[in-house]
Amino acid sequence: MIVIVNENTEDTADAMFHALSDRTRRDILRRVLAGEHSVTTLAAKYDMSFAAVQKHVAVLEKAGLLTKRRNGREQLASGDVQAVRSVASMLDELEGVWRGRVARIEALLIEEN
Amino acid sequence: MIVIVNENTEDTADAMFHALSDRTRRDILRRVLAGEHSVTTLAAKYDMSFAAVQKHVAVLEKAGLLTKRRNGREQLASGDVQAVRSVASMLDELEGVWRGRVARIEALLIEEN
DNA sequence: ACAACGTACAACCATCTGGTTGTACATTGT
DNA sequence: ACAATGTACAACCAGATGGTTGTACGTTGT
């Protein structure tokens, strides 16, 4: 297995995992993955100020998990499933490391027999 | 698809994504998924104090991504691949939401034709 | 017995985070 | 023209985060 780890992907990993570490943001992401929503529409769903929700959307946008599209005075947010998949692939990489450990242990057991 | 979201899983999701949002912790997790390491052994790998690394290990442990086992005066840390998989399945759930959106759009296109 | 080792945790500090209110500005509808 | 709507962002605040040093305590080796 080939693993490429550059500074840039570490930065985006930081941003993505951080964005996902808040339940309000995960909920927003769920909604915008299901379909486009304006920031105001999203804000109406939560028991906090518009500004707070707008900041959550901005965090998701900076992490690349969401993109916005202007439509008149509205800003329509849409979830980026590619970005979600890239996070999943980071976890797959970790699982791959674990499988390597298991393979080594099994090789050792075979050696002992 | 059935989706179960209780308060408890949201708490652990918060903890897990937060734990993964730091590159030092992701690196520690990679090492302990590959094999057992004492806290001191881990600490030697990073350009920060032992206490800082010990705290990172504690964060990973509280999130359930890592478990420790006493061995004399050493504390051997081991990555929990099941926990990593549970994070991956949360992302799968998000991807499932997105697929639902695509299915709805396709249904709409079929309707229009 | 005692020095060295491995660990945990408290106290402290600068910075970040997640919330608030207020302001500014572009777009829309009357 | 102007009021209402949708958005962005600054300023502020309490609490969390990520680092530090210092201390305490059990385990190990001589």
Residue B78 Cβ under 7 A from any strand C atom: no
Residue B24 Cβ under 7 A from any strand D atom: yes
Determine the Cα–Cα distance for residues B31 and B34; give it in Å rounded to an integer: 5
Looking at residue B3, its pLDDT comes to 64
Looking at residue B8, its pLDDT comes to 83
Q: What is the pLDDT of residues A55-102, one digit of tens each?
A: 999 999 999 999 999 999 999 999 999 999 999 999 999 999 999 998
Out of A39-43, B3-7, B17-21, pick the least confident: B3-7
The full set of domains in chain A, from first to last, is 8-112 (1.10.10.10)
Å: B25 CA to C19 C1': 27
- Residue B45 makes CB contacts below 8 A (sequence gap 6+) with B27, B31
Which of A13, A81, A104 has the CB atom closest to B26's CB atom?
A: A13
Residue B49 Cβ under 7 A from any strand D atom: yes
Average pLDDT value for residue range B57-72? 98
Q: What is the pLDDT of residues A11-60, one digit of tens each?
A: 999 999 999 999 999 999 999 999 999 999 999 999 999 999 999 999 99
Looking at residue B1, its pLDDT comes to 65
C1' of nucleotide C18: residue with nearest CA: A52
Which of A13, A21, A79 has the CB atom closest to B98's CB atom?
A: A79
**Residue corresponding to tokens 């297995």:** A1
Q: CB A67: neighbour CB atoms within 10 A?
A: 14
Looking at residue B64, its pLDDT comes to 98
DSSP conformation class of B65 = S
Determine the Cα–Cα distance for residues A65 and A83; give it in Å rounded to an integer: 5
For residue B53, give the nearest of B73, B75, B70 by alpha carbon.
B75
For the full predicted model, state whether its pTM sits above 0.75.
yes
